[in-house]
Copies of this chain bind each other. A is one copy, B any other.
């Protein structure tokens, strides 16, 4: 069987997913829609898909599932429309910046019985998959402490910051999802310390650019997250998990293994510094996972519930950082 897909949103990330579909055996991109016609046409030309309008995808009998890669404020409505149309749904994170809107959307998903996957791409990174596999196989015993370092190469511009929902909803949300994925137990309390150290323009917008977060679970597991909007040495994406029997870590990625040594020392190149390059394999695996889940039926992960829970943590972090107090999540 071939899983036939429609792409809603032909921007940068839409194009990444179109490429991932092309590389996935058993998947076919049937149609693409975008308010900017030329963007849709570019992807159509590259993939052989048709350009359609949204209704022409949502209502189509030759489309099994949709990928929603529009701007965030359209996500929830599109999920609901697709759910009602009986399509399987892949939606980029977040479902919405507003928790109540997310809850309402998930109610529609539940009522329609739709299959919804949220795009937490990092769960599909080969390094983090292997890290999790080592944990599952008992290599480090019971998980005790998770440490996530997550720093962007450079801060986005003010327009992006304004629409982003703030550092925690935009950036840390990935780390919150990863924390939940690795702790395998929900946090019951959260503390976030956040500052503006990178760019005063971010302070002017009421946001933060540097943060450290501690999550604690009921059984006492602890996760710490370190974020910055800027890392001169590249896109810094590391995880360590400390357990009763050992430690497992996943290091950063570089384009090559070359090292140059001279009187100044030994020098390796900076890290891959673009999220699409760093997570190329993750994006492919993610779409392959979605396609396989659509084909197989049954539950899908990360689910809408996962999206909601990460957003709740992001909201709690925002509150914690602003009021400088511990948030009880229970």
Contacts and interface: CB of A to CB of B under 8 A. Distances in A.
A233 to B, nearest CB: 4
Given A212-B145, A267-B265, A220 B197 contact: yes
Interface stretch (A49-57, A76-84, A244-252, A310-318): A244-252
A48 to B, nearest CB: 10
A60 to B, nearest CB: 24
Given A127-B258, A247-B233, A324 B324 contact: no
A70 interface: no
Contacts of A47: none
A258 B248 contact: yes
Interface string A180-206: 000000000101010111100000000
Interface stretch (A34-42, A113-121, A224-232): A224-232
A72 interface: no
A195 B216 contact: yes
A296 interface: no
A222 interface: yes
Interface in A250-295: 250-253, 255-270
B216 A214 contact: no
Nearest to A238: B257
Contact of A257 (B127, B220, B259): B127
A144 interface: yes
Contact of A220 (B196, B220, B255): B196
Contact of A246 (B145, B211, B255, B261): B261
B258 A246 contact: no
Given A212-B214, A250-B257, A197 B228 contact: no
Given A191-B214, A220-B197, A222-B210, A247 B267 contact: no
A139 interface: yes
Interface string A141-154: 01011010101000
A262 B139 CA distance: 8
A197 B226 contact: no
B255 A126 contact: yes
A78 B245 CA distance: 42
A325 interface: yes
15 contacts: A130-B269, A139-B260, A144-B195, A191-B191, A195-B219, A195-B222, A210-B220, A228-B242, A233-B266, A236-B247, A253-B257, A264-B270, A266-B270, A267-B268, A325-B326
A-B pairs with lowest CB-CB distance, top 7: A195-B220, A246-B262, A233-B261, A251-B257, A247-B261, A130-B256, A130-B258
